[in-house]
Structure 1
Amino acid sequence: MGVVDAPAVAPPETARDMSQAESLNQSVEEMSIKVDQLEQKLNEVEQFYSNSNTKHPNTPKGGSLGKDKEKEKFPLSSFKKKQQDIASREAAAAQRMQELMRQFGTILRQLTQHQWAGPFLQPVDVVGLGLHDYYEVIEKPMDFSTIKCRMEAKDGTGYKNVREICADVRLIFKNAMKYNEERDDVHVMAKTLLDKFETKWLQLLPKVDEEEERRKEEEAEMQLDMQLAQEAAHAKMARELSFDLDEVDTHLEELRDLVLQKCRKMTTEEKKRLGSAITRLSPEDINKALEIIAQNDPTFQASGETVEVDIDAQSESTLWKLKFFVKDTLQLQMKSSPSTGGNNNGDNNQNCNNKRKRDMPESVAKTVQRKSKKPTS
């Protein structure tokens, strides 16, 4: 996408001309900003589909949900509702986990109120008891007061589920049993309380397993819903992007036409050079040049091997369109053609072809030879 070269427009001579030129420049600037914004959106959409590969979690191998089923399950209009549903399920899951922790807290109170719980309520007084090798034997000390503090933590360091608390409760008693001999009172007390804890934990475990399985299923479903939500949002963005690009193309074409209308008149010498340049085009590009003329002149007939084109009869906008098309096309031909090497016979043929075109009479300014391949027998 682009706008015609600035030199094609006649220099502004009046205040009105200057105002129109400024208006054109402003329009071009606005289009440039719009194109940059659209390019960013396009990169975002491409990046999303490149990362996701349009694959969904928990989809059976070799199978897919199908486009229609996806749309039926997750229509674009329900995007916000789906987000609200996900938030509601998250909140409900958090409440259920809080209830499990409350029940687990009941078990903890029963343990801490036991007559033998004293040695385990606070951190071991390593210095006061002279236990110089305690930290060499015990890697991670644990006690009930530490567990309580972590259960009540609000800064993100708290327990995420009851299994984490269960592991720390076991650690209290296993540390005591590890450091103290079997005949020691602390060892016996720890073993007794651990047995009581395991009995009560087995009563709560079915509810924990049920919640974990439910949570696993909900997380998988929410992950799929979010994937579909993201795809729906990016599909909407892609559709809007397509419409915006079409709109930009239309505006650019309008600006181009407006600029061409302001073009100065092409001189006789420029028309002559344009006609000569057209002869250097390939047959395909000559056809494109004829299409430019036909777009601006509905009465123009571009059929047959020989097409009459009166350069002098063309409008200024058509002439300038042809000029820019021919210029761009010839530049591309120069870039794509090899400078050295290649087939000498092909080079000779090309040189002869170019020479034949250059040797065409001056009437080529009014007549363009349109070539077509003849069917082979």
Structure 2
Amino acid sequence: MHSPQRDALETAERSVPVFAKIEKRVVAEQLRAPLTFVAGTTYKAFVLEASKQAESVAAAAPAAANASVDNTGAAAEAEAGQDRPSLPKPYVPDIDAAVVSAVLRSPGSVVSTGQVIGEVSNRPVIAIPGEVPLFRNLVVGTRGEDVAGLQRMLIGLGYYGVDDSGEMGSGTLNAMARLYQEQGYQLPFVGDGVRGVNWRELLRLPKPTMTVVSVAQVGEKLNGDTPFMAFEDKPAVLKTELTVPEAEALAPGVAVGVQIDSAQPLRAAVHSRGDAVTNKESGKVTREVVLPLPEGVTSDSLKGATALLVSLDTAAESLAVPLTALRQDRGKTYVLVPTSENKAASAEKADKRSAAGGSEQVTAESERGFLRISVTPTKQAAGWVSLKTDELEVGAEVLVSKLASQ
């Protein structure tokens, strides 16, 4: 007879095996790191004067003193029936101020040299390189650095018949006319009957391509306080500090997710990755990872928001077991499967596997009733391990608890 106390102690010391079923799941380390928003800098472009066209025909020469004039003041040539057909005159806005008449670009769009980016007082505004020192109207015969800069721009845009002599010739004028025509406009008249380049229609930008941040609205009067457009000079970015192992996988160009508040992650590619730096106070070694703003995300939308860098889970499903199911013996990794549950593992098959260096029937007293199955771990995350094995299937049970002797 045993006392109740002794029976209770023996029961408490007896190890109860715990099993887990093999699952098919994605095993991947989910990186989550807070992102810091770093605002960019902007370049404000101003249009202070409206472009006004001259007459499309040259002014008539003054009439001679003895010219015959009829009672309506018409010239004598009209009496002879030689009326000259009148040419259509371009619309000239009846305003002196620069007023936005058309918005052709929106925040987030990219503007390039040579593009019409909007209209002021019904005339186009064309982006040109900042190094073109334009300060006057240009006509055939004009010489100077401003002409040479404009010629270099046209050559860079692929227009033929242009040289960089610094003198405005017919080739340069025709190229500018084509640039206007390709975008639905006509080269302006800068003098009566004389087409040329009106400097008020050209807007200098510091870079060949820039991203629009803000645009003045149609009807808005432009002045020294109200820019026509504002461009992103230095782009806004998102930054984070990661441990060296975390940053190792995030080389420039690698796709990651940016989660803003609780929304679905947006795709972004790593822009740059800094060198390892040791924090003097904490001693922690980190690397800075820089991301651009995801497509469609603006600086304004990030104000007051919480942003996280998350890894984009692209791993495929595979067989997986809890980490505690893995065991090692003499450099081999294996799991223990109860023979009563492993219907595919008969003693004969176990012998064959053992001979092939795979699974083996366990003879140790502590592992009696189990079959060792060799596995190759591939990934580990969140307490699970993905396995490479041809001997296990989804649903098979593996031992996750310690053995009775352990």
TM-score by length of 2: 0.27
Structure with bigger helix share is 1
More strand by share: 2
